[in-house]
Each structure stands twice: as structure tokens, then as C-alpha cells.
Chain A
Amino acid sequence: MNALPVPKPPRLQRAVRRAVSPALFDFWATRFNPLWTLEQPMARLLSRAPAGRDAVTLVLRPNRHWRGMLPGQHVNVGVEIEGRRLVRSYSPTPLEDGTLAITVKAMPGGLVSGHLASKARIGDVVTLGQAFGEMTLAAPRDDLLLLAAGSGITPMRALVRSLAAQGMPVKVDLMYWARQRDELCFVDELQALAAAHPRLRLRTLLTRDESHPDERIDAIALTSVDGLASRRVLACGPGGFIQAARARLEGRVARFDAEAFSAPALVDGEEGEVQVHLARSGRTLTLARGQSLLEGLEAQGLRPAHGCRMGICNTCVCGRESGTVRHTLTGAHNGEPSTQVRLCVSAPSTDLVLDL
């Protein structure tokens, strides 16, 4: 799958769509099969197998509304828990038969991960979002350095498998950090791939190993990676890991792309407050400039739609008619009117009018 074109639905289907709302169609069709929706991508849980400590790998079969993904992309998975649909982003591995494998680590107190890891039953249905994320490799030319920490291995596994299927066209160094050995996932598979493809080198690093703890990304020697300056680096892990990797490597390699799965705490407190007018509900609120719009709005008792809370899934995107926002991760300002802002990673710099 190289491109993900939006397929044009057949004429009959288009006619049906004009006359029948998804709510009406889905109500009746899902009586027969919970995957028979008019538009909503859904998936059925086919199997669950352990994968490392506290982690399981789930295999999902999507329905036809899901448009596929490129290795390295993320997908929002929604599960209903206590009446609420909770959405989390995962980086699945697309399997040859059209199914998806997602590896979920049960986080302490994690509602969704705990549910998927133990409570969800085979045959249960989840909602899917369309794939998103720029950490993909269309036609790799540069040699690669892949940096993964913890669950950050999941997009890397998908990338490495896809590169292996292409015969490993470039050199790939995969460095994979975990705290302890039993937390590592996919090690057997990755080692087998490395054995089969001499251009792939795997290094697992354990920061809390009792006998011989390894260095973290900020201090570890990278001399073993030949031609570092000409490599493209992809990194995925917690916010702190990504910040450290970026500080160490950005500008010193051919290209640096990263995705963090927990946003770093706001460093900067731009002082003071601004007026944020919500055009659709007609309300005007006073929000702090040092806080993301999502946090600010939630503190006022609103519940804007949101997903990842880290600026990648686009669920909380909303139209902005005017005003300047500051990106909380990059610090960049954007005052382009009539564009979209993601509430979770945008803090108000000036008074704003939002399409909420």
C-alpha cells in the first residue's frame, strides 16, 4: 500500500447516502453485523496473545470503511468503557491478510490499555480512525537510524517489517530502549529479521538492568552507527525521550522526525489571560495564556472533543476565525486567520474567536 486514495463509492451507495443518515442505516444494519456501518470504520477483535510483560498483541479485522495505513502511522482506536467511548492512538502493524496487529501495554490505571489487555473479549468491536502520522518511508534512500523507547517500538516494528519485505534497501540501525529485559516486545522477531538481513542491526538497551544498565539517548555512544551525519532518524517514545533525542541529533543528521506519546510539560508560562470567544455557543471565556486551549476550556467546564492530547490525532481540531495561538510543543506562533487549531497543543497568545 503506497497511496491511500479515497475510493469513490459506487452510485447505488451514493444514492443511499443521500437518502439515509448513518444513524438510521447503522441502527438497522448493526442489528445483523456490528461491522455493517454506513461510514464509520470499525474493527473486530480476532485474537489476543501475550507480548512481553503486561503487554498483549491484539489482531483486529477492520471493515471496508477503513482505508488502510502505511507502516509507521498511527490509528485511533475507540473502545466503549462504562458508557463512554475512549480513544487512544496506537501504531499497528499491518499484516499480510489485511488485519492489523496492535500491541498494548497495560498502563497502571490506564482505562483503555487495561481494558484491551484483559477485559475485551474476542469478537468485541472497536471503532477505528483513519491512519495518520508522517513517520513513514515511501521510498527510503537515506540510511536509517530508528530510535524507540518503550511502546515507541510499535511503529518501528511496522517499519522494519515493511523494509524487510522490500529486501532491506538501506542500512537500518534500530536502537530500542526499555527499563528491563522482560519489558521488551518483539525481540525474537526483530532478532530473526536482523539475522536474515545483514543491513539491519538491532541494539536493545536496558536502562535499569541490574548487572549492567545501559546509557540513555542523551549520553549513549553513537560511534557504532556509521555515517551518522547522512542518516535519516526516526524516533518514537515518551516526551522526555524525544526531547533528549532531538537535542542530541536534530541538525546533525540528514533528517530528524519524531513522535512523542506524552506531551512534555509546558516550560514556558506566557503570562496573563485573554478572552476566547466561542462563536458557535456564543460564550466568551477568560483563559490563561500559559495553558493549552483544551485544558483552559476543560477548566471552565467545557468538554471539547479530543483524542491524543499531544497534538497528533487531530480529533480536537477546530476552526479559528481570528487571533494568534502558540504551539505548546514548538513555541511557534500562528496568526493565520480562518485556519484550524488543535486545542490540545495550542495556547492562546491573543484574544481568539474559535468555531466551537
Chain B
Amino acid sequence: MARITNRILSAAELQSFGDELDALRARVTADVGARDARYIRRIVAAVRWTGVAGRALLFLGAFVHAVLVPAWILGVLCLGASKILENMELGHNVMHGQYDWMGDPKLNGKTYEWDIVATGDAWRKTHNFQHHTYTNVRGMDDDIGYGLLRIFPEQRWRPFYLMQPFIAVVFMLLFQWGVAIQDLRVGRWFAGKMKGAELRRAFRPVGRKMGRQLLKDYLVFPLLAGPFFLPVLLGNMVANGMRNVWTFVIIFCGHFTADAEVFPKETIRNETRGHWYLRQLRGSSNIAGGKLLNVMSGNLSHQIEHHFFPDLPANRYAAMAVEVRQICARYGQHYNTGSLPKQFGQVIWRIVRHAFPSRARAVRMPEAAMQGG
């Protein structure tokens, strides 16, 4: 693991670091308009058209046996792409309120409901609020290992974690289900800290959503294919699986690469805006790639920019990244980015390494700077 050096910023430097990012934010906010509206509507159209194409190809394969295999494969790819786009570039970003300024009720952050088993409302709480406010703060950001994995040596080791390389694979394959139950905090029920009735009540909306999604992909659409129920069901299952794996990879690359840091609770006491930006920077990592990667990752390839500006339209991140990088360089701050194989390789290493007991490196981050220098 490459060691990085971040310059310790004085209080005045932190202030101007934050001010520069605020200024960038203000500039882009003022410029948001028709172009961004056109962009997100094109994404909506892409989700719809690839979705229909995918389902149509699955049916085609079922009914025209000569093309069963190629049509099925192409159908799965189309449907998977549709689901990924809907989940990331559309759902995730719209639910952040990035396009609320449009005043379009169908792209409203408060009401958008995405096409996965997790409810939008639970996500708005665990992700938009908890994760984005308390990014990588231990005990406050549930996304650190999702209460299931030990990603950082700062997390206390337990023998349970020896199984985590295996658990991580299962979690990856069933990622949307993990996201769905995240807010239920089942662990508290296991530990006897939550009553069964409370859990059941919290589960009700989640269960409804799960039922609806299962019904759609594993009953209604397969039934429409009549005797060819099975190929359609399998196609839908693989498309959902594709999305699970892809979203897991992108999200884990966002905060769990080698150089990403976690923070103790004390960090956020009296946190200034400059501190907040600095914490977001140190806890996040980008994935370098082209336009396709940006779109398919919901622009989470620009995780740093997303964490700086979670409510700005994500289609702006790529252009903003140029300036963000310059600002970070000017203040001597490491800008964590790398190719997808490199970043995900580091994630895999963390999952494997920290399955075993490990100790945090002494003085991992310049405490003075984080606490106001």
C-alpha cells in the first residue's frame, strides 16, 4: 500500500480550501439549467428503451428457438444495463435531489422510488443523510463495512470476520437485499436491543417493496412468456445479479480503497466547512475511466466530487473534477484515484487482510489538521 502524505493545513488554509470549493459549487449551481435537464431526461429515455429492448429480446429468445442463446444473452445485457442506469445515474442521483430544481415531480428527490428491493425512503435516510453527513466516521456511517465486514483496522476484530472473504462474495451477489435491510439494523434485534414488534413494523414497507419487485421480475414477466417461463425468469435473475455485482464494486471502490481513511467520532465535533470537505476528500476515492464508466457508475467514478457536492447534478462532476484536482494539489492533499482494477484490487486486499487481526498504523492522519490545527 502506497503511503500518502497530506500537508497539514493551518486553520486559515482550511478556511480558504473550503472557500475555493464553495466558490466552485456556486459557479456550477448558477449555471445549472436546460443542458442538465436534457441530460437527465436522456438518461430516463435510455433506462426505458434499454429496459424494453432487454425484455423484448428475452421474449424473442423464448419464442424463436433459433436465436435463443444470442437473444437471451443480449437481452440480459440490455436489461442489466437498464437496471444499472436506473439504479445509479438516475435513481441514486435523483434521490439526492440533484434535479429537484427542475420542479418535475417525476424527478423529485423526496418521492422518487427506484427499481430495487430497497425502499427510497430508507435510502434517503441511511445514504443521503447518515452516509453523506458522517462519511467514514466510525459508529455514525453504517456504510463502513455495512455492519458485516471489517474493512479498516480501526474496526475491532472478532473471529466472525475470518469468514468475511466468503461473506463478501455473498453480499456482493445479493447487494440490493443488503441495502434493503440496512436501515432495519437487524443486528440490534439479534443482540436483543430491539423488540421483534419494532423490527416487524420497520420491515413492513421494505417487505412490500420486496414483494413488488419479486412479483415483477420473477412472476409477472416470466408468466407473460407462457411456456418459456424459465428462460425469462433466469434472464431477469442474471440481470439483477449483474447490477448487484456492479453496484457493489463501484460503491466499495468509493470509500474502501487502500488510501481511504476512517475517522473517530471526535473529528466531527465543531467541524467547520473546510474540515468537512477535507474529511470527504480523505474518505473517498475516484475511479479513472472514460465517459462510459462515468455514466454506468452514476458518476460515482467521481466519488470525491459527489461527496463534495452531493446535490449538484452528477453530469457536472467530470468537468468539476479538473478544478477539484487542482485545488487539492494546491493544498497538498492527496486526490485518490486509479483505474477500476487498481482500486477494486485494493478493496479485495482490504477485505482479505482485515479478516485477520490487524492494527491501525500509528498517526495515520494529521490529527492537528483535522481538529482545527
Contact = CB atoms under 8 A, between A and B. Distances in A.
A22 B104 CA distance: 12
A317 to B, nearest CB: 14
Place the interface of chain A in its size category: 20 to 34
A221 interface: no
B129 A86 contact: no
A84 B129 contact: no
A285 B104 CA distance: 26
A84 B103 contact: yes
Contact of A78 (B44, B101, B103, B124): B103
Interface string B107-143: 0001001000000000011001100000000000000
A186 interface: no
Contacts of A23: 106
A303 interface: yes
Interface in A317-342: none
Contacts of A280: 110, 124
B102 A84 contact: yes
B48 interface: yes
Contacts of A27: 44-45, 48
A84 B33 contact: yes
B27 interface: no
A85 interface: yes
A83 B48 contact: no
A47 to B, nearest CB: 26
A188 interface: no
A26 B107 CA distance: 13
B35 interface: yes
A82 interface: yes
Nearest to A306: B103
A83 B110 contact: no
A82 B35 CA distance: 8
A78 B103 CA distance: 9
Nearest to B40: A83
A40 B106 CA distance: 10
Interface in A14-56: 21-24, 26-28, 40
Given A22-B106, A27-B44, A83 B36 contact: yes
B100 A83 contact: no
Interface in B65-112: 100-106, 110
Nearest to A81: B34
Interface string A261-297: 0000000000000000000111000000000000000
A87 interface: yes
Contact of A85 (B103, B113, B129): B103
A87 to B, nearest CB: 7
A24 B37 CA distance: 18
A303 B100 contact: yes
Interface string B16-38: 00000000000000001111111
B204 to A, nearest CB: 18
B125 A85 contact: no
A152 B102 CA distance: 29
Contact of A83 (B38, B44, B106, B129): B38
A286 to B, nearest CB: 16
A281 B106 contact: no
Nearest to B34: A83
Interface in A74-99: 78, 80, 82-87
B125 A282 contact: yes
Given A27-B44, A27-B48, A83 B102 contact: yes
Interface in A210-253: none
A24 B45 CA distance: 10
A23 B44 CA distance: 10
A303 B108 CA distance: 12
A86 B103 contact: yes
Contacts of A28: 48
B110 to A, nearest CB: 7
A87 B102 CA distance: 11
A322 B368 CA distance: 42
B224 to A, nearest CB: 12
Given A282-B125, A282-B129, A85 B106 contact: no
A216 B6 CA distance: 70
Contacts of B32: 83
A23 B35 CA distance: 21
A228 B142 CA distance: 69
Contacts of A40: 105
A83 B35 contact: yes
B45 to A, nearest CB: 8
Contacts of A78: 103
A303 B101 contact: yes
A223 to B, nearest CB: 49
Nearest to A86: B103
Nearest to A27: B48
A83 B37 contact: yes
Nearest to A283: B129
Nearest to B99: A83
Nearest to B130: A282
A109 to B, nearest CB: 17
B18 to A, nearest CB: 15
Contacts of B36: 83
Interface in B142-179: none
Contacts of A281: 124, 128-129
Contacts of A85: 102-104
A78 B36 CA distance: 19
Contacts of B103: 78, 84-87, 305
Interface in B255-270: none
Given A27-B44, A27-B48, A281-B129, A84 B106 contact: no
15 contacts: A23-B106, A78-B103, A80-B37, A83-B34, A83-B36, A84-B101, A84-B103, A85-B103, A87-B103, A280-B110, A281-B124, A281-B128, A281-B129, A282-B125, A303-B100
Given A83-B37, A83-B102, A280-B110, 8 more contacts: A24-B48, A27-B48, A82-B33, A82-B37, A83-B36, A83-B101, A84-B102, A87-B103
The list of the 8 closest CB pairs from A to B, nearest first, reads A83-B37, A85-B103, A83-B34, A82-B33, A23-B106, A282-B129, A82-B34, A83-B33
Interface of B: 32-38, 44-45, 48, 100-106, 110, 113, 124-125, 128-129
